[in-house]
Structure formats: structure tokens, C-alpha cells
Structure 1
Amino acid sequence: MTSINIGIQKQDRIEIAEGLKRLLADSYTLYLQTHNFHWNVTGKQFRELHLLFEEHYNALALAVDEIAERIRTLGVAAPGTYKAFAELSAIEEVEGVPSADEMVDILTKGHEQVVRTARSVLKVAQDADDESSASLVSDRMREHEKTAWMLRAMRENG
């Protein structure tokens, strides 16, 4: 590949890409959990949750592509295996099929974890004056914060 000259130092590009790899891994793991729950949800809220989870995993599928492409834009290879994602992700795998309420709780925690990962990457991108990565990460944070809020609201009594 030819040299990259986009106004961001090589070491900064690498550091940002490393953070984006963690964001990609968290997002992909959350995508898989959400898709799994879409397939396996049962109970009184089946239709609502089945459709909601489908909406969420479709949005995550687009997000992981955008994150991976940003990593490539920075000149770094994007991870793309289950093994790599498992090593990079802060989101834990789920065994078995949880109840619908547990699914909502697990996904809420997953979205909150993505926000925390994004927040750590955002600081690195801002410090390197990488507005493109900062914008991408900021947009992801906003989406995951909103999704976590909506999922939490589903579990409130009242």
C-alpha cells in the first residue's frame, strides 16, 4: 500500500485503530447476541421484542461495516474472526437461552459497554485531531446510549 498522508501521524492512526478494533469487537459481539435473541425470544412480548431485536441487529450490521472501514482508512487491518473478536471484546458471551426479560437486561448492559468503549476511543481520536473517527465514534455513542435507555424503559414498572 502507498503511504498514508491524511494529516494524522502514523502512531496516532495506529492507536485510534486499536481502539476502533475494540469498538468493532464489542459491536459485532452485541450484533451476534441481538441476532441470537431475535431468533430465540419467547413470551408475552415475543412480537415486540422479535421486531425490536431485528431492528437493532440490522443497525449493528451497518455499524460494524462502518467501523471496520474506518480502521482500514487509517491503514490498519480490521479484525474479522470470532477468535479476534472474543479477544478484543469486553462483552461476555451468553450461554443458553435467557428469558425475554434477561435478554433485555443483557442487551442493555451490552449497549452500555459499547458506549464505554466508544468513550475511551473518542478521547484518543480527539487528542489526535481525527475528526472523522471522533464523529463516527460520537455517532455510535449516541445510538447506543439511546438504545440502552429504550431497553431500560421496557423494564421499568409503572
Structure 2
Amino acid sequence: MKQLKVIGLDEKKAEQLADKLNELLSNYQIFYMNVRGFHWNIKGERFFELHAKFEETYDDLLLKIDEIAERILTLGQRPMHAYSTYIRTSDIEEVKDVHDGRACVANILDSYQTTIRLQREIQDLANEASDEGTSALMSDYIREQEKTAWMLTSYLND
């Protein structure tokens, strides 16, 4: 594959990374839709605060979805693009009809736990493959999400 030759990555290792990135992509897509639903359906005394926070969160997730798909393409593979596939391959489950703020935030924390775990696995694979591009992307996501998890955990412990 000419593209991989240009960027200096082994084809088999790039394929393994792309498979894991597709798994991450599935999780992000379900995570995104869950947070979108939280944004639309939130109720209660903290409506304004959480409504804005959920919008900030799903905007960030959408950017990451695009970056992950483009990284898969950079590795010479195809990103999954069907919700039926995402539902089947995601560790994050669809959440329906949740409007309680604390339940929404707890679900977001659970979802970050899933993505951080998977991103660490991908980062390890990327490091073994000398794939700095994927490793750096995962490092950035992990750093951001660890801080966000701390903040959301603090929010729940008020």
C-alpha cells in the first residue's frame, strides 16, 4: 500500500490499529448520540448549566469522531459508518429517555471510562507499531478526558 510506505508503517500493524480505531469509533458514535439525547431531554434545577455542558461535550465528541475516521483512512483502511454496526460493536450502550442530570453525568463518566481504557490499548499498539500519529492522538484524548472525568466526578460529589 503506497500510502503506508510513504508514512513508514507496516501494513499488518496499520490494519490492527485501524480495527481498534473502528472499535473506538463505534463507542464514540453511541457516546455522542447518548449525550445529544441528554442535551435535548435534560430537566430540573440545573437545566441551563447541564444543557450547555452537554452541548460542549457532544461538540467535542463529534470532532473526535471525524479525527478517528480520518486516522483510519490515513492507515489505509475504511471507517465503519453504519449505526447498526456501531450498536453491535460498541461497549457503550444506547441510553434512552434519561433526563435526570446526575444520571446523565454518571453515564458520561462511565462512557469516558470505556473510551480511556480503549484509547490506552490503542496507544500501546501504536507505540509498538512506531505510529506516532495515532499515539499522539490517543495521548491528547486521554489527557483531556482524564481532566473532564475529574471535573464531572467532582460535580457528582457536591
Residues 29-44 of structure 1: matches in 2 within 5 Å? Answer: 29-44=30-45
Shift of 1:95: 2.9
**Against the structure 1 CA distance between its residues 3 and 55, is the aligned structure 2 distance closer, same or farther, given a 3 Å change threshold?**
closer
Cα separation, 2, equivalents of 1:50 and 1:3: 42
Q: Which runs of 5+ in 1 are unaligned?
A: none
Q: Which moved more, 1:52-61 or 1:83-92?
A: 83-92
Aligned-pair CA distance for 1:147 = 1.6
Contact 2:4–2:10 at 8 Å: present in 1 too? Answer: no
Secondary structure, aligned partner of 1:78 = coil
Aligned-pair distance for 1:4? Answer: 3.1
Could you state the TM-score of these two structures normalised by the residue count of structure 1?
A: 0.94
C-alpha distance in 2, partners of 1:49/1:39? 10
Match of 1:4 in 2: 4
Contact 2:18 2:77 in 1 (8 A): yes
Matched, 1:49 2:77: no
Structure 2 gap ranges (5+):
none
Q: Percent identity?
A: 38
Distance 1:98 1:39, change over 3 A: closer
TM-score (norm 2): 0.94
SS at match of 1:123: helix
Q: Is the 8 A contact 1:8 1:128 kept in 2?
A: yes
Q: What's the counterpart of residue 16 of structure 1?
A: 17
Partner Cα separation in structure 2 for residue 136 and residue 2 of structure 1: 23
The aligned residue for residue 120 of structure 2 is 119
Q: Cα RMSD between the aligned structures? A: 1.3
Kindly indicate whether residue 91 of structure 2 is the aligned counterpart of residue 90 of structure 1. Answer: yes
Q: Deviations over 1:14-54 (max 9, x none)?
A: 00111111111111111111111000000011000000000
Secondary structure in structure 1 of the residue aligned to 2:92: coil
Give every structure 1 segment of 4 or more consecutive aligned residues whose post-TM-superposition deviation is greater than 4 Å. Answer: none
